[in-house]
Amino acid sequence: MLKLHHAPNSRAGRILWLLEELELPYEINSMKFHPSDLKSDEHRSRHPLGRIPVLEDEEVIIYESGAIVEYILARHAPGKLKPAITSKLFPSYLQWFHYCEGMVMPAMNTIVVQTIILPEERRNAEILGQAQRLLSKSLIPVNESLENKKYLIGDFSAVDIMLGHSLYMSKKLKCVNEELINILNYLSRIEARPCFQKAINYNKQGS
């Protein structure tokens, strides 16, 4: 059975959401988002930097949320939630799948560090402002692409789990302004999905 090492308010929510959408059996190792758990010798044996998510599948241990998504689809759900290589949607799928970690998450990570993780006396308003502007710019092409679409490539796919989760987190950080109406409407559809609700509630509560 698949085993997900999970901590609340993290990218592990993506993997839990995917497992729910695919109706795959799994178990969860619930961890605190704290060095006492993440930097333990036990967890470093799974991930050398002590991060999450980590997925175990018998003898396989794999980390990086995008890699885990691709692994699950290839090994446990072939043909599901991903267009065929020959499909005209495949290039768009690839683009938005990687746009998530390439453009959206770096700025968001900086915002989280500068508003949540660092103590107030160590925060830098200039660095925060730069990250907020970069994130705002990176969301504009996504908003434009969602015009007249229900999901990022039309039908719901794993790219919605990757980038959709990041957009949800951007909204939580108050970085999705009212002008990004397509993203806001898209997030309403995402948040209404029962599998998303189950995953994100677990992600919030860690239980």
pTM reported for the whole predicted model: 0.93
pLDDT given at position 207: 39
Q: Does the CA dihedral 92-85-97-190 come out positive or negative? A: positive
pLDDT given at position 9: 85
Q: Secondary structure of the chain in the HEC alphabet?
A: CEEEEECCCCCHHHHHHHHHHHCCCEEEEECCCCHHHHCCHHHHCCCCCCCCCEEEECCEEEECHHHHHHHHHHHHCCCCCCCCCCCCCHHHHHHHHHHHHHHHHHHHHHHHHHHHHCCHHHCCHHHHHHHHHHHHHHHHHHHHHCCCCCECEEECCHHHHHHHHHHHHHHHCCCCCCCCHHHHHHHHHHHHCHHHHHHHHHHHHCC
pLDDT given at position 204: 58
Domain ranges of the chain: 2-81, 90-193
Task: Give, for all 207 residues of the chain, the pLDDT tens digit.
Answer: 999 999 988 999 999 999 999 999 999 999 988 888 889 999 999 999 999 999 999 999 999 999 999 999 999 999 999 999 999 999 999 999 999 999 999 999 999 999 988 999 999 999 999 999 999 999 999 999 999 999 999 999 999 999 999 999 999 999 999 999 999 999 999 999 999 999 998 855 543
Which fold is adopted by the domain 2-81?
Glutaredoxin (3.40.30)
- CATH number among 1.10.3720.10, 1.20.1050.10, 1.10.10.10, 3.40.50.620, domain 90-193: 1.20.1050.10
